[in-house]
Amino acid sequence: MSTLTEPPHTTAVTKAKDKILCETCGDQLELDHPGIQCVQGHHYCTDCSANIVRLFFSEPQQNIPLRCQKCCIELIPNVFERQLTEEQLGIYIDHILVFSFAEGFLLENERLDHCPFCTNAVIRNINAAHIFYCDHPECGKVSCLICRKACPKFEVDYATDELIAEMEKHFKCVELADDKRELDRYVELGQKVP
């Protein structure tokens, strides 16, 4: 009986450094990049992280709690907070306090509306108008809660054609928001169909 013994094969294992890519733009990132990263390992470069910050401040009530844009897992707050300037951090903390405080008080038929120009927030009926009159003494602006832009403020009972035309744009915002809400509802129902 003859046995043929061959020398054992050795395979050189070369471990290539895993690439970290931004989930939004695809840029390659360093392992210790300063952008946002979620607990599932999704990373965002500093430019895309700045866009996430802008998204938060455009609609804070829609973006609390903060979530990863890819997997929707809640972000660790200080991962987001390190992206903020000192001024933004103060506004962010105000928003978090208002929303966490109001969370326990909102009834089923209520919503929390807040001014896009300051930290003032008010609990209102869910069917209330989408025009917000800020009663904060340092703000006092009138804004559209849909597009988050300033609306003309009518000082007297008489309005110019320009003011009326500007206000009519915001009525269109409400129509579009209602259409979007209806479309989202149908998409959600469609996803439940087996």
Share in percent of the chain as helix, strand, coil (round to 5):
35, 15, 50
Question: In this predicted structure, what is the pLDDT of residue 113?
Answer: 85
What is the residue extent of each domain of the chain? 17-105, 108-194
CATH number of 17-105: 3.30.40
Question: In this predicted structure, what is the pLDDT of residue 110?
Answer: 86
Q: Are 96 and 56 in contact (CB under 8 A)?
A: no
Question: In this predicted structure, what is the pLDDT of residue 12?
Answer: 36
Residue type, 77: P
Question: In this predicted structure, what is the pLDDT of residue 3?
Answer: 52
CA atoms within 13 A on the CB side of 125: 3
The tens digit of pLDDT for each residue in 61-87 reads 778 788 888 888 888 888 899 999 998
Q: Are 144 and 151 in contact (CB under 8 A)?
A: yes
Determine whether 143 is exposed, middle or buried from the number of CB atoms within 10 Å of its CB (0-12, 13-18, 19+): buried
CA gap 44, 77 in Å, rounded: 15
Question: In this predicted structure, what is the pLDDT of residue 96?
Answer: 83
For the chain, which ranges sit under pLDDT 50? 1-2, 7-16
Q: Are 50 and 43 in contact (CB under 8 A)?
A: no
pTM of the model: 0.58
